[in-house]
Amino acid sequence: MAAKVAVVRFPGTNCEFDVVEAVTSLGGQAEIVFHDQTSLGGADAVVVAGGFAHGDYLRPGAIARFSPVMAAVTEFAAEGGPVVGICNGFQVLTEAHLLPGALQKNAGLKFRCQMADLVVASSDSVLTSEAQVGDVLRIPINHFEGNYTCSPETLAELRGDDRIVVRYADNPNGSVDDIAGICNEGRNVVGLMPHPERACNELLGSVDGQVMIGSLLASAGARV
Amino acid sequence: MCESWRMIFDVTVEVRLRPGIADPQGATIERALPALGFDGVQDVKVGKSIRFTIEAADESAAQAEVEDLCHRFLTNPVIEDSVVTIAAGASA
């Protein structure tokens, strides 16, 4: 049976169908779950997709985190279920305190929309289990508030516990320690600013996202 | 029946970036000023102002509720601080 991925959609989310396409192209099942639903419908993994949830009003993710579906996502994460937040989804996960730190405006005040080389820093996460440390993945970024920041204590903890999952080879936004993505203590919740779902087809210029979505499906498959 | 007597307070919450957090908007505005002839302007910071009214028994109760609201929702304490100003408005 194919692993089933719930793709969370808030008002203003706009990357949900890209995630559905990437997941199904790699043999998984995907189902959109709307923000006001209280159940994930028995999913084996969750992706909080990118976009501008609730218009990014107040702060990106600030309002989305109080959506009914986030209670279900939080519970699923607490049970060890694989949860990945991409771009705006990463912002939502930090606001929901499922991941530490915050995403501030890009250094230089530029909206960054370009390909980025990511260096896999840890293969011990639900998004990188099938990659090797040191692999360079070419994945697009598309954000204005992707400059990861956290307290020095949190940064020391992330480094010490091998929780920095991917780093930028050439830092595009000012993120501390070149961080592009991190995971939680349980390693089952990952947030990253780049969009692996947009790098799963030759037509899009890179298939390097397949190893990430494939890793997620493998983690999800282990729960089927 | 004074137990239901409550006041309405006018509240202004100024949300500021914490010291050390990059303020690219402030920096960009500051860089633009010399071109307009404003040479002495420094330390430009951009934040946001949120205004609302709140009903509470007294000013300290209003203050406590607004602080809680700021901490849990209006600011992200990782990157932002808030300055709260409360003024008595009309009684409810």
CA distance A9 to A190: 17
**Residue ranges per domain, chain A?**
4-221
Neighbours of B46 (CB within 10 A): 15
Residue A54 annotated to the active site:
no
B79 reaches A (C-beta below 8 A)? yes
Query: In this structure, what token pair is assigned to residue B15?
Result: 């949300």
Assess whether pLDDT exceeds 80 at residue B2: no
Which residues in chain A touch residue B27, judged by CB atoms under 8 angstroms apart? 109
pLDDT score for B92:
52
Query: In this structure, what token pair is assigned to residue A163?
Result: 């929780």
Which residues in chain B touch residue A147, judged by CB atoms under 8 angstroms apart? 22
Answer whether A22's CB lies under 8 Å from A200's CB.
yes
pLDDT score for B90:
62
Q: How many domains in chain B?
A: 1
In A67-177, alpha helices (H): 68-78, 88-95, 152-160
Which of B76, B81, B82 to substitute to test the interface with A, most A CBs within 10 Å?
A: B76
Answer whether A149's CB lies under 8 Å from B21's CB.
yes
Answer whether A34's CB lies under 8 Å from A12's CB.
no
Residue A183 annotated to the active site:
no
Residue A197 annotated to the active site:
yes
pLDDT score for A224:
76
Which of A103, A104, A145, A175 to substitute to test the interface with B, most B CBs within 10 Å?
A: A104
Which of the residues A15, A87, A150, A183 is marked catalytic? Answer: A87
pLDDT tens by residue, chain A, 224 residues:
799 999 999 999 999 999 999 999 999 999 999 999 999 999 999 999 999 999 999 999 999 999 999 999 999 999 999 999 999 999 999 999 999 999 999 988 789 999 999 999 999 999 999 999 999 999 999 999 999 999 999 999 999 999 999 999 999 999 999 999 999 999 999 999 999 999 999 999 999 999 999 999 999 988 87
pLDDT score for B1:
47
CATH number of the domain enclosing B39: 3.30.1280.10
CATH number for the domain formed by residue range(s) A4-221: 3.40.50.880
Q: Is there a contact between B76 and A106 if contact means CB atoms under 8 Å apart? A: no
Which residues in chain B touch residue A59, judged by CB atoms under 8 angstroms apart? 76
What is the radius of gyration, based on Cα positions, of chain A? 15
Q: Is there a contact between B76 and A59 if contact means CB atoms under 8 Å apart? A: yes
Closest Cα to residue A118, out of A159, A170, A177?
A170
| ipTM given for this complex | 0.83
Q: Is there a contact between A62 and B73 if contact means CB atoms under 8 Å apart? A: yes
pLDDT tens per residue, range B48-87: 999 999 999 999 999 999 999 999 999 999 999 999 999 9
**Residue A142 identity:** N
State the DSSP H helix or E strand holding residue B30, giving kind and residue range, or none if neither.
helix B24-32
Name the residue in chain B with its Cα closest to that of A100.
Answer: B78
Q: Which residues form the domain of B33? A: 2-91
